Amino acid sequence: DSGVTQTPKHLITATGQRVTLRCSPRSGDLSVYWYQQSLDQGLQFLIQYYNGEERAKGNILERFSAQQFPDLHSELNLSSLELGDSALYFCASSVAGQGMDTEAFFGQGTRLTVV
Amino acid sequence: DQQVKQNSPSLSVQEGRISILNCDYTNSMFDYFLWYKKYPAEGPTFLISISSIKDKNEDGRFTVFLNKSAKHLSLHIVPSQPGDSAVYFCAASPRTSYGKLTFGQGTILTVHP
């Protein structure tokens, strides 16, 4: 158990809908990262938050947004869903935003299926 | 543009022998390299890392070697055990944002008893 909790584990929704994925980081971790793993793209970095503020952005679509709340949990919002958004979405957390001690610990992921 | 490449989709090894997983990268800004292991239905688990100032890091049965001039790193597992069977991902991050990992496509390691 990595200490990172993601809910829900599975989500099935229709095209055009909006969903929210939730992540609770390990106790004490200030950084939260979101990754997408699809069959053809592998693990892709989406976005990082550090202590409530956006720190780094990857290839995140404009239809996707995220935030980190004062209690450090994070939510990833996916809207106007398309079939191609079906993927595993991982959240990871680490102690700091920069520095060598930033091995990220991953949650078990949320499997999103868009039908 | 795949900045981190694992060219072998799979590797099969006998128990007790050495497993060598390879990874190449193209981005000179990468400063920190990691290996993650992933079992089905679980998130990736951190295994071992190395910074660009070193060429070797060892942790028990796992050793990572970094050749900066060749932009190549490898993970050696000695001796291999059936429980090591999993998908292994190489990842790299730049000095400016260590948490922003770029992953390779993964190598499926199967260790036969």
**115 residues of chain A, pLDDT tens digit each:** 889 999 999 999 999 999 999 999 999 899 999 999 987 777 899 999 999 999 889 989 999 999 999 999 999 999 999 999 999 999 999 887 555 556 788 999 999 999 9
Residues of A in contact with B51 (CB under 8 A): 100
Q: From B106, which residue of chain A is nearest by alpha-carbon distance?
A: A42
Q: What is the pLDDT of residue A99?
A: 52
Residue A31 in contact with partner chain B when CB distance is under 8 A = yes
pLDDT in tens, B29-50: 898 999 999 998 889 999 999 9
Q: What is the pLDDT of residue A97?
A: 58
The model's confidence at residue B98, banded by pLDDT at 50, 70 and 90, is low
Q: What is the pLDDT of residue A47?
A: 94
Mutate to test the interface with B, among A2, A102, A110 (most CBs of B within 10 A): A102
Q: What is the pLDDT of residue A82?
A: 97
| Token reading at A30 | 């200030």
In terms of Cα–Cα distance, which of A86, A51, A46, A44 is closest to A66? A46
* A88 Cα to chain B: minimum distance (Å): 10
Q: What is the pLDDT of residue B93?
A: 87
> In which residue are the tokens 């971790």 written?
A29
Q: What is the pLDDT of residue A95?
A: 82
Give CA torsion, residues A8, A4, A90, A16, to 10 deg: 30
> In which residue are the tokens 């099935």 written?
A12
